[in-house]
């Protein structure tokens, strides 16, 4: 199926969103819950599977497509936004956490892109969302992303979201790059993805980078994120003040919270 050719504009800095402009009859697909706003001439419909609009082989094909999405941890449904008006209409998709939205022209990338499981945000209708299995046990067990990654196919625009700052690296034939496993956003199929042990027990236990690194070997293109969301979430959880299974609200210092001693005095407790 021919891809819809859409115009777009990415707005914002830390919390970005992308506005997609649709001509009459054009459509965009987005992850469930990713829509920010849309013009009144756009109709939205939740569909079973990846919403690419291609021939999915009837009910069995739709079930297989939905099952692939379930394996990547995504919803069984995607939402299709169709411009049913006579003029141009816009729909916007918001990022789920601080970071950058990266446009990917699949035609310029050879028609296929592999990305981490939660990177996909939205795309022009016709882009197919599938899965790719890591071919090597080491990458599957210790690669941070597991055996399964998202696979985008087509020749249209797709938009990925990454946490922190996004870096694009071009790898020549045989050129290698060592990366923290959680920092990989996407890469082209020509890149070889392997897992390598850090090499020293002391470094592995106390270096703070884990036991394994990803070794990417060219040729191809790799996109990296400076702050994996898992790292951000772990730091927020570790910094959350907890005492006896509950947090003291209003202060980071013991005794100064709403339920602390000084909190009670300042709040007018007579007891």
When pLDDT is cut at 50, 70 and 90, the band that residue 55 belongs to is very low
Q: How many whole angstroms separate alpha carbon 149 and alpha carbon 185?
A: 10
Give me the pLDDT at residue 214, please.
83
The rounded radius of gyration (Å) of the Cα atoms in the chain is 22
When pLDDT is cut at 50, 70 and 90, the band that residue 265 belongs to is very low
Give me the pLDDT at residue 267, please.
52
When pLDDT is averaged across residues 160-189 and rounded to a whole number, the result is 92
Give me the pLDDT at residue 90, please.
95
* pLDDT for 18 beyond 90: yes
When pLDDT is cut at 50, 70 and 90, the band that residue 220 belongs to is very high
Q: Which CATH architecture has domain 7-236?
A: 4-Layer Sandwich (3.60)
Give me the pLDDT at residue 262, please.
45
Q: What is the 3-state secondary structure (H, E, C) of the chain?
A: CCCCCCEEEEECCCCCEEEEEECCCCEEEEECCCEEEECCCEEEEEEECCCCCCCCCHHHHHHHHHHHHHHCCCCCEEEEEEECCCCCEEEEEECCCCEEEEEEECCCCCCEEEECCCCEEEEECCCEEEEEECCCHHHHHHCCCCCEEEEEECCCEEEEEEECCEEEEEECCCCEEEECHHHEEEECCCCEEEEEECCCHHHHHHCCCCCEEEEEECCEEEEEECCCHHHHHHHHHHHCCCECCECCCCCCCCCCCCCCHHHHHHCCCCC
Give me the pLDDT at residue 36, please.
94
The per-residue pLDDT of the chain, averaged, comes to 77
When pLDDT is averaged across residues 251-261 and rounded to a whole number, the result is 48
When pLDDT is cut at 50, 70 and 90, the band that residue 39 belongs to is very high
**pLDDT tens-digit profile of 130-158?**
887 765 555 445 545 545 788 899 988 99
Give me the pLDDT at residue 48, please.
66
Q: Which of 24-38, 111-125, 156-170, 207-221 has the lowest mean pLDDT?
A: 207-221
Give me the pLDDT at residue 196, please.
76
Give me the pLDDT at residue 215, please.
87
Where do the domains of the chain lie? 7-236
Q: Which of 23-37, 67-81, 250-264 has the lowest mean pLDDT?
A: 250-264
């Amino acid at each position: 199926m021919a891809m819809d050719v859409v115009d777009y504009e990415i707005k914002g800095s830390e919390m970005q969103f992308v506005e997609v402009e649709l001509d009459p009859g054009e459509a965009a697909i987005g992850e469930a819950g990713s829509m920010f706003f849309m013009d009144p001439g756009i109709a939205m419909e939740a569909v079973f599977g990846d919403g690419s609009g291609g021939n999915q082989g009837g009910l069995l094909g739709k079930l297989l497509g939905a099952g692939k999405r379930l394996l990547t941890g995504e919803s069984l449904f995607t939402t299709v936004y169709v411009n049913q008006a006579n003029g141009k209409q816009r729909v916007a998709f918001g990022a789920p956490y601080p970071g950058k939205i990266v446009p990917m022209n699949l035609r310029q990338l050879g028609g296929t892109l592999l990305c981490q499981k939660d990177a996909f945000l939205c795309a022009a209708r016709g882009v197919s969302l599938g899965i790719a299995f890591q071919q090597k046990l080491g990458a599957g067990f210790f690669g941070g992303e597991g055996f399964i990654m998202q696979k985008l196919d087509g020749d249209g625009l797709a938009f990925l979201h990454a946490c922190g700052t996004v870096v694009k690296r071009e790898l020549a034939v045989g050129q290698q790059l060592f990366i923290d496993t959680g920092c990989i956003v996407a890469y082209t199929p020509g890149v070889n993805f392997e897992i390598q042990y850090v090499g020293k027990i002391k470094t592995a236990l106390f270096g703070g980078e884990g036991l394994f690194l990803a070794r990417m070997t060219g040729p191809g293109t790799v996109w990296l994120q400076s702050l994996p969301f898992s790292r951000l979430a772990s730091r927020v959880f570790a910094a959350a003040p907890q005492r006896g299974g509950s947090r003291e609200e209003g202060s980071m210092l013991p005794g100064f919270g709403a339920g602390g001693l000084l909190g009670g005095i300042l709040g007018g407790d007579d007891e």
